[in-house]
Amino acid sequence: MSPRNSFAEARRTRERIVARGIAIASVDGLEGLTIGRLATDLGMSKAGVLGHFGTKEALQLATLDGAAAAFARLVWEPAAHEEPGLPRLRAVCARWTGYLEAGREIFPGGCFFTTASVEFDARDGHVRDAVARLLRVWRGRLAAEVRTAVAAGDLPPDTDPEQLVYELLGLHMALNQETQLFADPSGAATRTRRAVDRLLAHPPRRA
């Protein structure tokens, strides 16, 4: 096998491990992500799994990055073509709600980052720092769209971007809880959409 083919095969194997890790961690948390379980699920040896990451922490960090990339593909990228500001923010929220309502193929346990944040919020270490960093990036993206919407006159001039993002995050965390704990994805998604519509209501533009 040529070095190029060997590299491509190693990359595909790593991607398989990360994809399975995302599915496991979304249900059982990142601490439930063990080398032994992954090896069994993927028909690999423990050494084969460990060889791609070196440590459990490195595996957890790679899984976090993979989950962030999957979330971006499901929620951000489909809305990226929309006009910056309120149109894009509305599209992102629509995708975000839909992902929590029905996106079980990649994240069978619901919102990966809600699970990770609860699991690690009282801990120290690189994994906690990575969870916080990824959530700050997401908050920053949303806040940037809010500021663009305010500048365009699509949201009131006294809108506080950080407050609005805080409320949007709270709504979607509540949706995840209703979906996972109370098994009410449709009803909760409907309530979430109504609440988002109220938050993003804007006065008509002046002629």
Q: What is the 3-state secondary structure (H, E, C) of the chain?
A: CCHHHHHHHHHHHHHHHHHHHHHHHHHHCHHHCCHHHHHHHHCCCHHHHHCCCCCHHHHHHHHHHHHHHHHHHHHHHHHCCCCCCHHHHHHHHHHHHHHHHHCCCCCCCCCHHHHHHHHHCCCCCHHHHHHHHHHHHHHHHHHHHHHHHHHCCCCCCCCCHHHHHHHHHHHHHHHHHHHHCCCCHHHHHHHHHHHHHHHCCCCCCCC
CA distance 148 to 165: 13
pLDDT for residue 50: 87
Are 103 and 176 contacting, i.e. CB atoms less than 8 angstroms apart?
no
Domains of the chain: residue spans and CATH:
56-199 (1.10.357.10)
CA distance 40 to 23: 14
Residue-level pLDDT, tens digit, the chain, 207 residues: 555 567 788 889 999 999 999 999 999 999 999 889 999 999 999 998 988 888 999 999 999 999 999 999 999 999 999 999 999 999 999 999 998 987 777 888 889 999 999 999 999 999 999 999 999 999 999 999 999 999 999 999 999 999 999 999 999 999 999 998 898 878 999 999 999 999 998 655 544
pLDDT for residue 104: 75
Q: Note the pTM of the prediction, 2 decimals.
A: 0.89
pLDDT for residue 206: 46
